[in-house]
Amino acid sequence: KNEVEQSPQNLTAQEGEFITINCSYSVGISALHWLQQHPGGGIVSLFMLSSGKKKHGRLIATINIQEKHSSLHITASHPRDSAVYICAVKAGATNKLIFGTGTLLAVQP
Amino acid sequence: DGGITQSPKYLFRKEGQNVTLSCEQNLNHDAMYWYRQDPGQGLRLIYYSQIVNDFQKGDIAEGYSVSREKKESFPLTVTSAQKNPTAFYLCASTRTSGSYEQYFGPGTRLTVT
């Protein structure tokens, strides 16, 4: 079993829909990252959080440390949101990350 | 603009050849990382370095080597000992104090035939 699990693996939505991607982890962490990878391959950091909730534009990330669970929400989804969304956790004393396998999101117009 | 550059974006090699992937950052970050990405799998850590002239093996270091002679540069050599070298390789960097947000390069897609 992976230490970081994401669901769903694949998600297709219609433009304008509210989207939720989930991440569960089984290790103690000091921070959790949400990353976005576009088809070209480059990865962009969306959020890094250790408690509570963060919002940036139409993106919202929440984390529940007790339940070892995080969610990434996209409001009013748009085709340009189509990408792979990756959850990663920082565990241990180093800055090493443990990655989930990603959620492939396709937003159709 | 600050960032991480990786070159080349696409690289083709024959089996049995060593190949070196470049990673340069101008973010003044102390720590640098090499990851490998395969279809259907999460990124896996190959090597990382927290400081110049020091580096540690990650989860899948066999068949790879690195050096860290300068803070800005962390090249990765894929040796002929790596059994399945065809993959997408990502370099990342981060500070070692304050915000630990990782910054990623654009990646190099290596194909070995």
Residue B99 has pLDDT above 70, yes or no: no
Residue-level pLDDT at A42: 86
Chain B residues within 8 Å of chain A (Cβ atoms): 31, 33, 35, 40-45, 48, 50, 58, 88, 90, 92, 94, 96, 99-107, 109
Q: What is the pLDDT along chain A (109 residues), one digit of tens a residue?
A: 689 999 999 999 999 999 999 999 998 898 999 999 988 778 999 999 999 999 999 999 999 999 999 999 999 999 999 999 999 999 877 678 899 999 999 999 9
Could you tell me which of A68, A91, A109, A41 has the C-alpha nearest to residue B109?
A41
Q: Which among B42, B45, B48 has CB closest to A4?
A: B42
Return the pLDDT at B40: 82
CA distance A88 to A98: 5
